[in-house]
Structure 1
Amino acid sequence: MKILFDHQIFALQTYGGISRYFFELMTHLQNLNNVTVKNSILYSRNVYLDNRFPHYKYVNYENWLVPKYFKGKNRLLKICQEIGLAPNHNKEMDEFVFDELEKGKYDIFHPTYYNPYFLESVIKYKIPYVLTVHDLIHEKFPFYFDNIEQTKCDKQRTILNASRIIAISKSTKNDLVAYYNIPEDKIDVVYHGNSMVTQESLSYSKSREKYLLFVGNRSYYKNFFFFVESILPLFKDFPDLQLYAAGGGEFTLDELRNFRKLNIDSRVIHKSFGDDVSLMDLYKNAALFVFPSLYEGFGIPLLEAMVSGCPVVCSNTSSFPEIGGESVHYFDPTNSDSIEKAVREVFTNRELQTYLRESGLKNVSRFSWAKTAADSYQVYQKGLKYL
C-alpha cells in the first residue's frame, strides 16, 4: 500500500499535538510490511522532523521581515506572498501534491489538516482519502478563532467528502456524529500513542518538589486562569506551594497583572522546555499534574504525566474519562470548589498519589504508536473500498 501525506500541519506548527501525531504515524507506518509512505513536506520549521524525513528544508517563518512577532505579521506575510515579495512555500507544496496525485501511484491520500485544496484532484483521479479529526474545537468554541466561518466551511467540506474518518477518541466520534450527522460506521476510533519512555528508565526523584504542573497553551478553553483562581486557598494554606506553567509562551502582561492582583505573582512561574527530556523532568518532579481544560479530543499530556510517574488531577469532561480511566482524580472544570477539593485531596494524600502513579503507569500501556499505525492501516484498507 502506498500512502501520500501532505504538508499542511507541518507548515502550521513548529511543535504541537497534531504534528506530533502525524510524525509518529508516518514513522511507524514505515515499519509495517508492504507499506510505503511519502509526504509533501518540502519546507518546514517543525521540530519533530529529522533524518527519517530528510528531503525537507527548515524554514523559520518567524524570522521573515523582522525576528520578533507583531500583531498582523502573519496577514502581512500572506499578502507579500500573494504579490511575490515573499516566498510562498505552501503554494509550492500544494503543487507538489497535485503532481503526485496526478501520477496515480498512491492508494490512499491522508491530508494532515482541513484545507480542502486537494479535493478537485482526489475526485478527478479517483484517489480515496482518509481524514483524521482530532477535536471539534472550532465548532464548540467558535468565538475564540479568527475567520471562523471560512475555517468551519473548509473543515466541513473536508470531513463530508472523506472516504473514511479517523477519530482520535470515542468522544470525538460522538461529536462528529452529533455536529455533522455522519454515519457512525464511516468513523473509526484510533487512539494516539505515547512518545515518551517510561519513568523507570530515567533518573527519578522520590523527593518531589512542592509545585503543581500545568502544561500547554493557556487559551480560553484550556481554563487556566479559572483553575488558578480556584486554588487560591491552597496557596494560602501552603506557603511553599508553586504552580509551574510549562510551554504556551511567556506570560502576557494581562496574565502578570492578574497574578499580582491575586498576590501570587512570585508563585506562578513559567517554564520553557526544549525537548521531551526537559518536559519529562518537569512531570516527574512535580507533586501532581493538573489538566483543567474544558474540552480535549484526546489529551496527550495525560499520557506524558502517567508515563513520567506523575499523579494526574483533571477535568471530567469530553475525552478525559475515556483516556484516563480510573488512573486519574477528576473534578468539574466549571466548579471552583470541585477543582480546589480534588487538587487538595491528591496534594495532601501520599497513598492516593502512589495509587495514581502506579495505576497511571499501567493505564499508559494501552497506548502505543505501533498500535496507532496498525489500526490506521486497517482504516486505509476500508478506504480502498470506497471508490
Structure 2
Amino acid sequence: MKIAFDGKRFFNNSSGLGNYSRDLVRILGTYFPENQYVLFNKNQSEKGKEILNLPNVSFLETSKGNFSRQFKMGKDAQQINADIFHGLSGELPLKWTEKPIKKIVTIHDLIFMRFPQYYSFFDRKIHFWKFKKAAEQADLIIAISEQTKQDIIHYLKVPESKIRVIYQGCHQSFKENQSAQYLISIKEKFNLPERFILNVGTIEERKNLLNIVKAIQGTEIPLVVIGKKTKYYKKVQNFIDKNALQRQVLFLENVSMEELAAIYKLADIFVYPSFFEGFGIPIIEALFSKTPVITSNLSCLPEAGGEDSVYINPHHFEDIKAKILFLWNNESERNRRAAKSLEFVQKFNDKEIGKNLQSVYQEVMSK
C-alpha cells in the first residue's frame, strides 16, 4: 500500500500532535516496511529527520498556492496514486479529484466542545466545522481512546461502526534503561532534589497544576514541573509566592526528550490531576519509566493508567494530598504499583500499535 499523510504536525509541532505523527510514521515504517509512506507539507524541518531516513518514508512538497493544505494536498496524494490519505490531526483536505483514494482521519479529542470556556467563539466554530467535515469525508475514523470515541459519537453524530480505537504510545526514550551515570548527570544538571514528585504537561487550567501545589502545601515534598507556560502559570505562581513555596516547586525549561525520560525515572511519583484528556500520553511515559502514577478518575485517564495507578478527584486537593502522602511514605507500595503498571503498559508498545494501524488500513482497502 501507498499511504499519504498530512505532514503539518509531523514537521511543525514539537510535542502533542507532532509526537503522535512522528511516532505513528516511525512505527509503521519500522514494522511494516512493505508499505510506502509519503509525508506532504509545504516544507521539511529538523523534526523527524531520522524517520525520513527510513527507506520506505519520503517527503513531498505540497503544490504551491493559497490554502494548499486544504485545496491541493489531497489532489497531490491522488496524483502519486496513494491508496490511502491519513489526516493525523482531525482534518482532511477539502478538494479531491475523481481518482479513487481511501480517507482516514485521527481525532484526538473534542475538548473544545466539552470545555468551551477555554476557547474563543470563533475557534470553537472553526474546530467544529473542520472536525465534522473530516468525519463525514472519512471512510474510517481513528479515535485515540474509548472516551474520544464516545465524544465523536455524541458531538459529531458519527455511527459507532465508522470508528476504530487505536491507542497512542510514547517516545522510545521512555522505554530505554538509561545508565545510572546518565541519571546522576541529569540530576546534577537540573539541580533536582534527592526525592521529588513530577508533573509534565502544558501549564494550563485544564491540567490543574494549582491543586497539586495546594496539595503539597504543609508538607516537605518537592514538586518538579515541566511544561509550556500559559497565562494560567501566573495564577499558580501567585499562590506559590503568597505561601512561600518557591523552594518547594521547581519549574524546568529546555528539557530534551532524553532528559525528560531520565527525570521521569528519577521521580518518586508522577502526579497528573487533569480535568479532561483525549488520552494522556504523560501517564504512559511515566508507566514505561517505572514511576507510579496518581491521576484523575475522569475521562480517559483510567484507560491510560490501568488498575494499579492511584486515582483521585481532581477537584479536591485534599484527596490529591492524601494519595501523594500515601505513596510518598510507602516505598514497597510504590514499587509494587510500578511493577504491575509496567506489565499493563505493554499494550501501548510500538508493535501492538503498528499491528492495529495496519489492520485498519487493510480494512479500509477491503471496503
The TM-score, its normalising length taken from structure 2, stands at 0.85
Contact 1:42 1:56 in 2 (8 A): no
Give the Cα–Cα distance (whole angstroms) in 1 for the partners of residues 327 and 22 of structure 2. 35
Give the Cα–Cα distance (whole angstroms) in 1 for the partners of residues 342 and 34 of structure 2. 33
Give the Cα–Cα distance (whole angstroms) in 2 for the partners of residues 284 and 89 of structure 1. 47
**1:246 aligned partner:** 226
**2:260 aligned partner:** 279
Give the Cα–Cα distance (whole angstroms) in 2 for the partners of residues 153 and 341 of structure 1. 43
**2:147 aligned partner:** 171
Match of 2:96 among 99, 121, 140: 121
**2:247 aligned partner:** 266
The one-letter code sitting in structure 1 at the alignment partner of 2:223 is: L
Q: Tell me the SS of whatever aligns to 2:270.
A: strand
Give the Cα–Cα distance (whole angstroms) in 1 for the partners of residues 22 and 276 of structure 2. 24
Give the Cα–Cα distance (whole angstroms) in 2 for the partners of residues 328 and 18 of structure 1. 25
The one-letter code sitting in structure 1 at the alignment partner of 2:23 is: E
Gaps of 5+ in 2: 188-192
**1:3 aligned partner:** 3
Provide the alpha-carbon RMSD of the alignment: 2.7
Q: How many residues align?
A: 347
**1:111 aligned partner:** 87
The one-letter code sitting in structure 1 at the alignment partner of 2:20 is: Y
Contact 2:85 2:102 in 1 (8 A): yes
Q: Does 1:237 align with 2:237?
A: no
Q: Does 1:149 align with 2:153?
A: no
Change in CA separation of 1:368 and 1:200 when aligned onto 2, cut-off 3 Å = closer
The one-letter code sitting in structure 2 at the alignment partner of 1:49 is: G
Give the Cα–Cα distance (whole angstroms) in 1 for the partners of residues 277 and 304 of structure 2. 11
Give the Cα–Cα distance (whole angstroms) in 1 for the partners of residues 112 and 162 of structure 2. 21
**2:26 aligned partner:** 27
Give deviations 1:184-219, integer Å, cap 9, x for gaps: 121111111232356672224799832111001011
Q: Tell me the SS of whatever aligns to 1:236.
A: coil
Give the Cα–Cα distance (whole angstroms) in 2 for the partners of residues 344 and 328 of structure 1. 15
Q: Could you tell me how far 1:37 is from its partner in structure 2?
A: 0.5
Give the Cα–Cα distance (whole angstroms) in 2 for the partners of residues 100 and 200 of structure 1. 38
Q: Could you tell me how far 1:48 is from its partner in structure 2?
A: 3.8
Match of 2:109 among 128, 131, 135: 135
Give deviations 1:12-55, integer Å, cap 9, x for gaps: 52x1122211111112222315311101134255x641133267
Give deviations 1:258-303, integer Å, cap 9, x for gaps: 3111221232111124322200121111121101111112111112
Give the Cα–Cα distance (whole angstroms) in 1 for the partners of residues 8 and 174 of structure 2. 31
The one-letter code sitting in structure 1 at the alignment partner of 2:34 is: N
Q: Could you tell me how far 1:250 is from its partner in structure 2?
A: 8.3
The one-letter code sitting in structure 1 at the alignment partner of 2:217 is: F
Give the Cα–Cα distance (whole angstroms) in 2 for the partners of residues 362 and 263 of structure 1. 40
Contact 2:11 2:18 in 1 (8 A): no
Q: Does 1:337 align with 2:307?
A: no
Contact 2:10 2:47 in 1 (8 A): no
Match of 1:358 among 309, 321, 339: 339
Structure 1: which 4+ aligned runs deviate by more than 4 Å?
A: 54-57, 88-96, 197-200, 204-208, 250-254
Contact 2:297 2:311 in 1 (8 A): yes
Give deviations 1:330-359, integer Å, cap 9, x for gaps: 111122222111111111111211112211
Match of 2:207 among 197, 216, 222: 222
Gaps of 5+ in 1: 58-87
Give the Cα–Cα distance (whole angstroms) in 2 for the partners of residues 194 and 212 of structure 1. 20
Contact 1:133 1:172 in 2 (8 A): yes
Q: Tell me the SS of whatever aligns to 1:43.
A: coil
Query: What is the percentage of aligned positions where both structures have the same residue?
Result: 27
Give the Cα–Cα distance (whole angstroms) in 1 for the partners of residues 325 and 272 of structure 2. 14
Q: Could you tell me how far 1:168 is from its partner in structure 2?
A: 1.1
Give the Cα–Cα distance (whole angstroms) in 2 for the partners of residues 28 and 199 of structure 1. 14
**Pairing of 1:304-383 with structure 2 (within 5 A):** 304-383=285-364
Give the Cα–Cα distance (whole angstroms) in 1 for the partners of residues 257 and 164 of structure 2. 29
Q: Could you tell me how far 1:257 is from its partner in structure 2?
A: 2.4
Give the Cα–Cα distance (whole angstroms) in 1 for the partners of residues 112 and 179 of structure 2. 40
The one-letter code sitting in structure 2 at the alignment partner of 1:170 is: E
The one-letter code sitting in structure 1 at the alignment partner of 2:73 is: V
Q: Tell me the SS of whatever aligns to 2:49.
A: coil
Q: Does 1:293 align with 2:267?
A: no
Q: Tell me the SS of whatever aligns to 1:306.
A: helix
Give the Cα–Cα distance (whole angstroms) in 2 for the partners of residues 95 and 119 of structure 1. 6
Change in CA separation of 1:89 and 1:367 when aligned onto 2, cut-off 3 Å = farther
The one-letter code sitting in structure 2 at the alignment partner of 1:51 is: E
**2:52 aligned partner:** 53
Change in CA separation of 1:235 and 1:209 when aligned onto 2, cut-off 3 Å = farther
Residues 248-257 or 262-271, more deviating: 248-257
Give the Cα–Cα distance (whole angstroms) in 2 for the partners of residues 27 and 90 of structure 1. 30
**2:190 aligned partner:** none
Change in CA separation of 1:108 and 1:98 when aligned onto 2, cut-off 3 Å = closer
Contact 1:209 1:287 in 2 (8 A): no
Give the Cα–Cα distance (whole angstroms) in 2 for the partners of residues 42 and 341 of structure 1. 50
Change in CA separation of 1:52 and 1:351 when aligned onto 2, cut-off 3 Å = closer
